[in-house]
Amino acid sequence: MSEILILNTQTEYVEQCAALQPLCYPTLAKEEQFTAEHFLSHIRLFPEGQFMAIDRETGHVVGTTAGFLTYYDQIDQEHFQHHKFIDAIAGGWLTNHNPHGNYYYGVDMCVHPDYRGRGIARRLHDARKALCKRLNLKGQVIGGMIPGFANYKHVMTAHEYVRCVQAGLIYDSTLTTQLRNGFVLRGMLQNYLNDPPTDGWSTLLEWRNPDYVEPGQPAPPVSQDASHPPPATARPPSVS
């Protein structure tokens, strides 16, 4: 099995990154999928917050995740009741990035269908968590798709479906992974995405940084978790 490298997203790979979007989100509206130009904007604005997974053997991008910094007092249903994905991502350009934000807004988690089940999403999540700890952010907030709901929407509501996923009665390729990575459900977002199969339903999820220190408070001793080192920033090896 070939080695997968987790790196900060680099400009020479933006076309490959964009090519993954329709493979990972085939039902999502085109205007909510990222182009190569969008990825270039993400890198210009917040390079350390963009990550990609590279198959070392082939040199191909097999996974990506994008995000930006934003400020929230709290993450709950009331404050996000009118929240829309296209607005949050500034039409895909992430120009809402706030360098002084206290939360990382996780925009997507994209893994090539042929590479799923190999822990790539978990490693990309680990890279985002490491960033939050390094920047002393309160945590992450995401609006998550629930793709499996399309198969159940005629027999249960979106809220019932999510409760079944939380209870382990139904496996959802996105939500189950997010819950396993420490995200907690804070509410439901109606019409968050333009995704007809799920009627636009998404979850509002939060991951809290366990190492967060309020400004002005003394920082705890720093310990390096050797099992989750920060992603490399060096260029990936060339592939002949």
Domain contains 228: no
How many Cβ atoms sit within 10 Å of the Cβ of residue 216?
A: 5
| Assigned token pair, 37 | 């130009």
Tens digit of each residue's pLDDT (9 = 90 or more) over 22-34:
999 999 999 999 9
Model's pTM, two decimal places? 0.88
Domain contains 149: yes
Tens digit of each residue's pLDDT (9 = 90 or more) over 88-98:
999 999 999 99
Structural domain boundaries enclosing 98:
2-206
Higher-pLDDT residue of 78 and 51 is 51
Domain contains 217: no
pLDDT at residue 219 in the model:
59
Lowest mean pLDDT among 12-16, 90-94, 117-121, 221-225: 221-225
How many Cβ atoms sit within 10 Å of the Cβ of residue 53?
A: 26
Tens digit of each residue's pLDDT (9 = 90 or more) over 161-210:
999 999 999 999 999 999 999 999 999 999 999 999 999 999 999 999 99
Domain contains 9: yes
- Domain of 124, CATH number, reads 3.40.630.30
Structural domain total, the chain: 1
Domain contains 235: no
Domain contains 93: yes
Chain centre to alpha carbon of residue 196: 21
SS3 string, 44-62, reads: HHCHHHCEEEEECCCCEEE
Token pair 């076309």: residue: 15
